[in-house]
Amino acid sequence: MNGCVFCGIVAGEVPAFRVVDEPDGVAFLDTRPVFKGHVLVVPRTHLVTLADLPADALAGYFGLVRRLAAAVETGLGAGGTFVAINNKVSQSVPHLHTHVVPRTKGDGLRGFFWPRTRYADDAEAREYADRIAAALQPA
């Protein structure tokens, strides 16, 4: 879709720290992560909400989300993950995307208040993306 930043990332026209690019979706680091290693997973096709995702795409898309949740834990040594989707309200980019956020006990995240952080530089962001990608199990 013209003007959609996530469609631009999928097309390779907008730079992003990609973790994986597969037929079922593309995953990349959030530029304003809740915690470092926060990944966004998007379908390749422009869809606005979860309700727009075709039934025959559910297994592939959520299979990728599941694999990324495991890779975030393994690759970053996280204690767990927080996986979430906003539909319309609080959806900063109107393209379906699933947040996979690394969690550790006592990390301070409470409820739905999502404080944001930044990577020190591109090298640090690339390191996080590479660590997650290296831990990603094949489909």
Domain that holds residue 101: 5-135
* Cα 125 to chain centroid, rounded: 13
Q: Which residues are catalytic?
A: 97
Query: Considering its fold, how many domains does the chain have in total?
Result: 1
Query: pLDDT, tens digit, for every residue of 83-126?
Result: 999 988 888 899 999 999 999 998 888 766 667 789 999 999 99
Residue 13 and residue 107 in contact, taking contact as beta carbons nearer than 8 Å: no
CATH code of residue 55: 3.30.428.10
Q: Which amino acid is at 46?
A: H
Is 41 strand, coil or helix? strand
Lowest mean per-residue pLDDT among 14-23, 32-41, 82-91, 120-129: 82-91
DSSP 66-89: HHHHHHHHHHHT-SEEEEE---ST
**pTM greater than 0.85 (yes/no):** yes
Which sign, positive or negative, has the C-alpha torsion 85, 86, 92, 94?
Answer: positive
* Phi/psi of residue 29, nearest 5 degrees: -70, 140
Q: How many residues make up the chain in this entry?
A: 139
Query: pLDDT, tens digit, for every residue of 39-94?
Result: 999 999 999 999 999 999 999 999 999 999 999 999 999 999 999 999 888 888 99
